[in-house]
Amino acid sequence: MRDRSELLESIEADTHLSRLLRTVGAQLTDASPVAEAADPGHDIAHSLRVALWAVRLGGEHVDQREAVAAALLHDLVNLPKDSPERAEASVRSAEVAANLLPEHGFDEAATARVCAAIRDHSYSRGAVPATPLGRALSDADRLEALGALGVFRTATCGARMGAAYLHPEDPWAQGRALDDAAFTLDHFFVKLLRLEQTLHTEAGRAEARRRSDFMRRFLRQLGEEIGEPPPDGKL
């Protein structure tokens, strides 16, 4: 699938998917009941980007309708990053999806496949997806944490958690423990620059490397701007 326009055309051509998109869009537009405001990193635009990449990464091994449905529904329950129940968000999203999918033209077998993919895609939950659909969804979602979008999302998440951009005296954590709840920059080293190793598909890993390289360039630029380049080997 070439781009977002082609994805939207394919959704609109499918009566059930177009209705599902409207249903999910209405829910994701509203603020989460456990957050002060809607999360721009988990809105309907995010779900559509994940859908595009899930279709691309799944290829001939994954039913396109199921890939799109899984992506649209994967974040229906979005808990804050610092919530003690964060790891359960994908399980709860799968439970909601199980009720919605039959109403939108998915039979029992397709519903089971989509819900399993949603349940196991989450980085926070730590499960390993057992199906091509689950692996495509997982990789597509993790790509959103990398590259230019990943920088946006990291800054947004840090601000929502009340974190400072960086430690004022030791930004690269050379003499202290990493703490991404307190310093947004630390999240690149706690998680983001390690993320490319966790993807399951060959195409997903290639795209993750490309986006991770962008993040490394971003961090080198940041080091120039703050007058303290990252130490050798840090990136």
C-alpha 72/C-alpha 77 separation (Å) is: 12
Q: What is the pLDDT of residue 125?
A: 72
Query: Residue type at 49?
Result: R
- Give pLDDT tens digits along the chain (235 positions): 889 999 999 999 999 999 999 999 888 765 444 444 567 888 899 999 999 999 999 999 999 999 999 999 998 887 766 666 667 788 899 999 999 999 999 999 999 999 999 998 877 777 889 999 999 999 999 999 999 999 999 999 999 889 999 999 999 999 999 999 999 999 999 999 999 999 999 999 999 999 999 999 999 999 999 999 999 888 8
Domain boundaries, the chain: 4-128, 147-226
Long-range pairs for 210-218 at CB < 8 Å and ≥24 separation?
210/147, 211/143, 211/146, 211/147, 211/148, 211/150, 212/146, 212/147, 214/146, 214/147, 214/148, 215/146, 215/147, 215/150, 215/151, 215/188, 218/151
Q: What is the pLDDT of residue 37?
A: 53
Q: Which two tokens stand for residue 228?
A: 């303290």
Q: Please tell me if the domain spanning 4-128 has the same topology as the one spanning 147-226.
A: yes
Q: What is the pLDDT of residue 6?
A: 96
Architecture, CATH, for domain 4-128 = Orthogonal Bundle (1.10)
DSSP reduced 3-state for 2: coil
Query: Class of 147-226 per CATH?
Result: mainly alpha
Residue 32 burial class via C-beta count within 10 angstroms: exposed 0-12, middle 13-18, buried 19 and up? middle
Indicate the pTM of the whole model: 0.90
